[in-house]
A and B are shown apart, each in its own frame.
Chain A
Amino acid sequence: MSANTMTDDKPAAQAPARSLTAGQMPRWVWSVTAGGALAVGAGLAAVLGEGFSVAGWAIFSAVLFILGMYVITWRVQNRRRAVDGLWRNLVWAAFLLALVPLISVLWTVLAQGLPTLLSNPGVLIYDMSTTNGATDIATQQDGARLSGGFVHGLIGTVMITLLATLISVPIGLMASVYLVEYSRGGWFARAITFFVDVMTGIPSIVAGLFAFAAVQLFITTFIGDGPAQLQMVKMGLSAAIALSVLMIPVVVRSTEEMLRVVPNELREASYALGVRKWRTIMKVVLPTSISGIASGVTLAIARVTGETAPILVTAGFIASTNWNPFSEWMTALPVFIYRQLVNPTAPSAADPSQMRAWAAALVLILIVMLLNLLARIIARAFAPKKTGR
């Protein structure tokens, strides 16, 4: 393959190489191998599978390329280099494999949701209060314009998430300040850390049931337990409480990590200037770590935005827009998607419901992506300035 066909893999046994470039593989070897693997892989996929498939082609080619590179490198160079190359290729393969579901999900949602969103931007403005089986049948069979939309789900998601953030950020922030700045590693702090870890693992439906039961208990104790009062339990606030149960441990953990990396020297510098502890925390520790805290909070918000089960249990779902999270049922975007797919508005004409569901899924993904982007921007904007020369 190369000018120097050195096949011996025991360099100690031979005389020192005369040329400094001895035993090197030319750079074109890997592209030739890749080309060969793709060609043979295409043949194998066509012969072995029932008909040609892209997935089969990719798998055959990848396996052939990895094995081929291993054998060629061993022959041309030595075994050590071959093993090194083998593992590098395997790591690359694992990375590409991990990307497959991500890209596949994004592609599917884009392909299914984008056409609806572009041809019927009205889904972002209308709710479902005027949509019924008849309008959907008209859309599917007579080509009438797609009616309805998910603005009520958008509003519900925003209100519920906002309320959940308002509840969980102060609690989570103060809990982690206690853990890092005040606890000194006592049994109480260890217990909090343990239960926070446990809370991170509870299934979201349990959080929903907990919030439902807690609000019900509160209402029956303080307001009364007639049927009207029991109706009050299902509201945006209950859903926000359920989401808080899921959010608080995430906020505590991420904030705790961020506070721990604040150098102790800064606290001591502040104390040495005669500054009180709470002022040191407020003016030195928190500002220094605010970028990490803010991005941690944003990621926690992004995580709960996609929750379905706890919101379905606590806030229910309605067809009309409800701006008030303190009374009446509320629809969140994930719940809307779930309902539209499982119980289409017109059972005999499910296509319009599916179109709305895919468009809503795309919007939900966009919201979560924007929140992630926001987290990065916040982290950069608040980060301590490193240079100023």
Chain B
Amino acid sequence: MAKRIDAVDLNVYYGKFLAVEDVNIKIEPRSVTAFIGPSGCGKTTFLRTINRMHEVLPGAYAEGEILLDGENIYGPGVDPVNVRAEVGMVFQRPNPFPTMSIRENVLAGYRLNGTRMSKSDADAIVEKSLRGANLWNEVKDRLDKPGSGLSGGQQQRLCIARTVAVEPSVILMDEPCSALDPISTLAVEDLINELKENYTVVIVTHNMQQAARVADRTAFFNIQGTGKPGKLIEYDDTINIFQNPQNEQTQNYVSGRFG
């Protein structure tokens, strides 16, 4: 189910502006990989190329290859919609659909695509996904209430449940805890640890402690200055990145002497 991600010579553009340059990275299945780095260094931009969400913005495109278990998602004839069904994404701010109930939000991936299913199948998916997102016990009595009535942390776990419900191979998370309090952050981090049993998880974070807590491998991105492209500086086991970085920039960043 979980798939390996290989980026090969990837350049990411916003119009003429080269935002991320020459990324080569191998992300193992059933692992958690964290992207860290200063603001504007291209970690989110790179993350969004992994499910082709980047090109949703006007003028944005990517060059190079991203291989999902060896299959290039930027190859000719690839439908980005199918890529996104395979690579789910959780956003920085919790964004449940305001017109839908909790139950409908979990089933959104099916409902919005017009997939028909029996009520028992739907119930099974709702329960499995909400349990998978550690949210079932909190919301099982009010599944028909609006999703926007939940607290911020619950909303974010609802968004994770919604992503898990369509059974992707990879889950991308773009600073999933930056809008949450420490207790909710802990709940989401526990969840990330459980998700790696079945999924390839990639997480962008500004919080280095978080990267150290949840990630098996960590990639450090950096930028030389404004207007310059972001680059992948170092990619290694998390413990090496934080305790024995090979690159001086990484050393400066993780020890707080920089940016």
Contact = CB atoms under 8 A, between A and B. Distances in A.
Nearest to B147: A388
Interface residues of A, number: 27
Nearest to A265: B95
Contacts of A272: 51, 53, 84, 88-89, 91, 163
B95 A274 contact: no
A24 interface: no
Interface in B75-132: 81-86, 88-89, 91, 93, 95, 97-99, 101, 108-109, 111-114
B146 interface: yes
A287 B112 CA distance: 12
Given A271-B53, A279-B113, A279-B114, A388 B149 contact: yes
Given A263-B95, A385-B98, A273 B146 contact: no
Contact of B148 (A270, A287, A385): A385
A184 interface: yes
A284 to B, nearest CB: 6
B112 A283 contact: yes
Contacts of B85: 273-274
Contact of A273 (B114, B142, B163): B163
B112 A284 contact: yes
A384 B147 CA distance: 10
Interface string B37-62: 00000000000000101001010000
Contacts of A266: 95, 97-98
A359 B120 CA distance: 60
A268 B162 CA distance: 13
Interface string A363-389: 000000000000000000000111111
A185 interface: yes
A288 interface: yes
Nearest to A291: B99
B191 interface: no
A271 B84 contact: yes
Contacts of B91: 265, 268-269, 272
A270 B112 contact: yes
A386 B53 contact: no
A275 interface: yes
Contact of B81 (A184, A276, A288, A384): A276
A280 B111 CA distance: 11
Most chain B CB within a 10 A radius of its CB, from A274, A283, A284: A274
Given A273-B166, A274-B166, 10 more contacts: A269-B159, A271-B81, A272-B89, A274-B81, A274-B84, A274-B85, A274-B86, A276-B81, A385-B98, A388-B148
Which 8 A-B pairs give the minimum distances between C-beta atoms?
Answer: A274-B85, A388-B149, A388-B145, A384-B98, A272-B89, A273-B109, A385-B146, A265-B95
